[in-house]
Structure 1
């Protein structure tokens, strides 16, 4: 097999290949064997006749077509291995010369992951975080439990801090248009809890059941919804009822009602244990992300534009689904953000590039470290997932090859990240 390689760009390769006779003979024999079961030849059981006899009993046009398809697919597979390519999509194929079973010259235009320069990831060292839980944090959880268990008594007086006001609210902008995400009905708001829009609760203090009120609130510049940062919104509020909350005493009787424990000290120990575990998970995730980001910042990968575009598209699909779940259309979201669809895509390009880059680096590291997922590990994870989905149809879905491959890839990623965390923290693994 003769190969001529031309690099059009760091991520585009043109391969011109001429197959030798040995390769062509092997491709032809493969096709004849695969078709042999369909041919009935007197004196031979199906699939047992000599290949020369099978060839005489097969439509020549079909044999040539399937031979060419097999030869091209096989050639491409060998080229990818020989040239150490990482294609991101099917190649563009041109047949330059074809004499059935005797000559084949083809050209493949391949879009591939380009050169990877991997950082010395073993030299990256980072102290692994430790977490602690304060008495105040435990007491805050206890206070929340008391609020949840509070008795509610409807009152006719003006509301005050500590009361729960059930209300409807609707926010509009300077043009009188409804602001997405700033509307609710029969919303139970505990005044003074500071759980709602900053500046909203003080304006509701003093309202009575049946009263309506209108006031303006300017969202903080660091508000978690970008479209509302620093924005002035006028709210129209109607209170349906005001309830006085009477929280239960914090004692062993209360503990027995809201938990499987009998003593307050036992509940405190459990709360601290759960908070510690949650904090540690969050800290570990941050540690992993920071480790990967440092490796990525010290490495380089030539990425095709198409693979980054695909990642942007996947992120957009997920974003659309989340918006739909909240009752917001894509068009409304873009309008709130003040960007066009194309501007939105380009704004996410850097993040998408980094995501793809890290994925490529993890694959490179897994190969370098010889990391593998055993059939037993895959089966264990599969059974764990099946245990989470008792529905028979969902379990059958997990058994599909493409889903098994996805689970395999996740396990590979997890094992590779665990290896990197071990290097960074100095832990032997």
Structure 2
């Protein structure tokens, strides 16, 4: 245990809050997965879903641990490779997406031979935000004119959003908001940010109009779903699409202050996506307002640590990385909570580190790994460099030793052959 804690570099408080959220997630996921266990005449075995969630978290922490070992400035160059790769994944997903329980086909892809699904938009989000942080950190303030940044910055941003928008408006809006926030922190001219917002609104309006006129050309588009959710949110008339919200509100009302107790949720059997999109409602039903506010407190404290880490980062690129990768985790969490209590229309955003789902957990952990690397102190970096140098020296000694042994074997072979009678015959 001491060895494990010794190897955890960076901000220990961030490690602690992440571990607390992950550990707590087992209770609501195990409880809420009963809905999935009985779906399609299932056996009702919820342990399978608990084990699956456990494996997702283990893989997530492995990703986080490995990523935090990579010096964060390496991602400055990697972003120029990661973003085009993300574009390829998004294009492939639009063409060959996988249908999950009848859901829209253009969100997921099936990973060959592994039997798992992957959502490229989450990977594209991280890649794009790293790319934007890189651009803002390398460009002088006086050079950040709209004309100069149009091709280098905004063309990649809008192209990425264009690939995500047809199937996932909420993720597109979240990414666009985070890019704008990042440009504001990076001291991009405010008047240019206002122009970009106007261009974004016009582009969204144009896309919706095109889909309305040519619906067959955008079969994977979910414009109708967006409109339905907004109408249901703003209208007082009941609709069958309100079923999720009504069940979520019932769960929250039932939970009261102290909750029904772990595993005693009733609405988990009726609420769709109870282990992912609406898991916050199940948490309040079982743990009450006390449990709900406790989860909010953890996210708020994590947000404060991100602000501190961004302030203390040694470079501008590090500051932008922490803000660009850390703040979306918190905003996504509060969007999920807002949907559960009907402050926001249904979006499909999960509760980071708590909701079930592999892609969300893995990408969140990857982002946290980069953030933790930024928070490393000088002595930790020095210690890592010394350990790396020692490993390299040990490896070089083994290579030199092996070469020396091989050389001795060759000498012995030559000496042995010199006494061979056949050599005298051959010499004659």
**TM-score above 0.5, yes or no:** no
The structure whose RCO (Cα within 8 Å, separation 6+) is larger is: 2
Asked which structure has the greater CA Rg, the reply is: 1
The alignment's TM-score, normalised by the length of structure 1, stands at 0.20
